[in-house]
Structure 1
Amino acid sequence: MPYHVCAQGVPLLTATPGPAGETYSLDVQTLILVTGLAFLPGLLLLTTAFTRIIIVLSIFRQALGLQTTPPNMVLAALALALTFFVMRGVIAEEQRVAVDPYLAGNINFHQAVAAAQPPLQNFMLAQTRKQPLHLFVDLSGGEYKTPQDVPFAVLVPAFATSELETAFQIGFLVYIPFVLIDLAVASILMSLGMIMVSPTLIALPLKLLMFVSIHGWTLILGSLAHSFAGAGG
């Protein structure tokens, strides 16, 4: 007689005794769930402030002229830390209305998921531009009376597109001072006839000196955090 290994009422694994030993079969619902978990980190990052922060930091590293410094792991960790501070209001609200009641047994899992959606939805709507939102609403073929009626399947790509646009705009502003330094150094070297000297060799320490003297990391991280002003609660 077959028997099941279950979790939360969902059969995870079915074992059927037979003459050649037990035969195991995996439930289709479980297979879909396990497969979906692989995409969960990406979906979580697309619905938070991480996208904007990591892109701006990557553009800044390129503008500074350092290809691998800071390393990708350091930039990702720094972006995650700043994302937590930006999203702390949303996280606290979700814990109050969804996580704590679920752990206390007052609501079930589906009710907890439904209760956790409004804080995150409000955060994304506050950062989503009208053009990307209208684009994905048109692509979905739906009609919604208010932005709050837009489903997550439409809001998430609109939010991610808005974050890309905002990140590139901030990255452009970050890039300008370093480009001016590169142009100034290149012009001086050409006027001195030192065409064999790489402008990067001279410009890099000057850019580092300028960046350190103005406390650049504090300035960039603070500006990124304030670009979400009011969205994180």
Structure 2
Amino acid sequence: MRRMIIIAAAPVMLLLLGAAAPAPSAGSGPSLTGSAMSLIVALTVLSLAPAILMTITSFVRIVVALSLLRTGFGAPGVPPNMVIVALALFLTLFVMKPTFDIAWTQGAAPYLAGSLTEAEAFKRTIEPFRTFMLANTREGDMRLFIDMAGTTPQSRADIDLRTLIPAFLISELKRAFEIGFLLLLPFLVIDLVVASVLMALGLMMLPPATISLPAKLIFFVLVDGWALVVSSLVRSYAGMG
């Protein structure tokens, strides 16, 4: 877990530290102002590390799909938010483990050992995340942000992060909604069947949710729903089956 936290914070921390560090002057050490600025930047990046981790990993797709699944049950508080976020986080670590391992081996570990500069370490650490985002970003979303940025990259490898990250997030949201639609469809059918049966029996005063919720739960348990949902989410990523 310590390694995951370091890798999550490393890309942006290295970038900002390299930008904030003052240019060394001949015959003088680092100034007090420069050291204080570096410390402030480091503390700021550490506080933003969770948000950074969410934007460049599989977390967004997984947590949105699980939230829509919970909506389909008709019980907004079950499972609780803490459980949904925890499951999404650990599934993210599972999906991203190969990327984390490469980033640690190529960039973070050599930098901590003192064999790389901030700029070199940032480039090597961010490259596995760039590869992951490129593999899971739709061409249409990529073209949209390239056109809005007014750039003309020669290849996908030349696309900068300010274009790649929002394109990746839009693609993740689209796929999460697609998965959510497929998850909600069986629950919608159960709701319609229960409402039709209750109306046919003349039980119009009985809330359909009273009957449909247990029906949804037993249906989900019988088909081993959690295993199916988790397997589908993990396998929806390139290179994960």
Normalised by the shorter chain, which TM-score bucket? 0.7 to 0.9
**2:116 counterpart residue number:** 107
**Which range moved further: 215-224 or 29-38?**
29-38
For these two proteins, the number of residue pairs brought into alignment is 216
Q: Retained in 1: the 8 A contact 2:234–2:240?
A: no
Q: Retained in 2: the 8 A contact 1:64–1:178?
A: yes
Identity percentage over the alignment?
A: 42
Partners of 1:118 and 1:74 lie apart in 2 by 31
- 1:219 and 2:219 are equivalent in the alignment: no
Structure 2: runs of 5+ lacking an equivalent: 1-16, 23-29
Partners of 1:225 and 1:80 lie apart in 2 by 12
- 1:198 and 2:212 are equivalent in the alignment: no
Partners of 2:45 and 2:162 lie apart in 1 by 15
- CA displacement at 1:37 relative to structure 2: 4.2
- Cα-Cα RMSD: 2.4
- 1:154 and 2:163 are equivalent in the alignment: yes
- 1:66 and 2:79 are equivalent in the alignment: no
Partners of 1:33 and 1:139 lie apart in 2 by 31
Partners of 1:99 and 1:32 lie apart in 2 by 18
- CA displacement at 1:113 relative to structure 2: 1.0
Structure 2 length as normaliser, TM-score?
A: 0.82
Partners of 2:103 and 2:128 lie apart in 1 by 7
* Structure 2 counterparts to residues 17-36 of structure 1, below 5 A: 27-28=36-37, 30-36=39-45
Rg (Cα) greater in structure = 1
- CA displacement at 1:108 relative to structure 2: 2.3
**Which range moved further: 94-103 or 84-93?**
94-103
Q: Retained in 2: the 8 A contact 1:127–1:231?
A: no
1:209 corresponds, among 206, 218, 241, to 218
**Counterpart residue type for residue 69 of structure 2:** F
- CA displacement at 1:119 relative to structure 2: 1.0
Partners of 2:52 and 2:31 lie apart in 1 by 24
* Structure 2 counterparts to residues 76-155 of structure 1, below 5 A: 76-155=85-164
Q: Residues 144-184 of structure 1, C-alpha deviation per residue, up to 9 Å, x if partnerless? A: 01111000111000000000000000000000000000000
Find runs of 4+ consecutive structure 1 residues off by over 3 angstroms.
Answer: 7-14, 25-40
SS at match of 1:167: helix
**1:4 counterpart residue number:** none
Q: Residues 120-155 of structure 1, C-alpha deviation per residue, up to 9 Å, x if partnerless? A: 111001110011111111111111011110001110
**Counterpart residue type for residue 113 of structure 1:** F
**1:17 counterpart residue number:** none
Structure 1 length as normaliser, TM-score?
A: 0.85
**1:40 counterpart residue number:** 49
**Counterpart residue type for residue 134 of structure 2:** L
Partners of 2:32 and 2:226 lie apart in 1 by 51
- CA displacement at 1:219 relative to structure 2: 0.8
Partners of 1:93 and 1:29 lie apart in 2 by 27
Partners of 1:218 and 1:166 lie apart in 2 by 19
- 1:188 and 2:197 are equivalent in the alignment: yes
Q: Retained in 1: the 8 A contact 2:61–2:176?
A: yes
Partners of 1:86 and 1:59 lie apart in 2 by 20
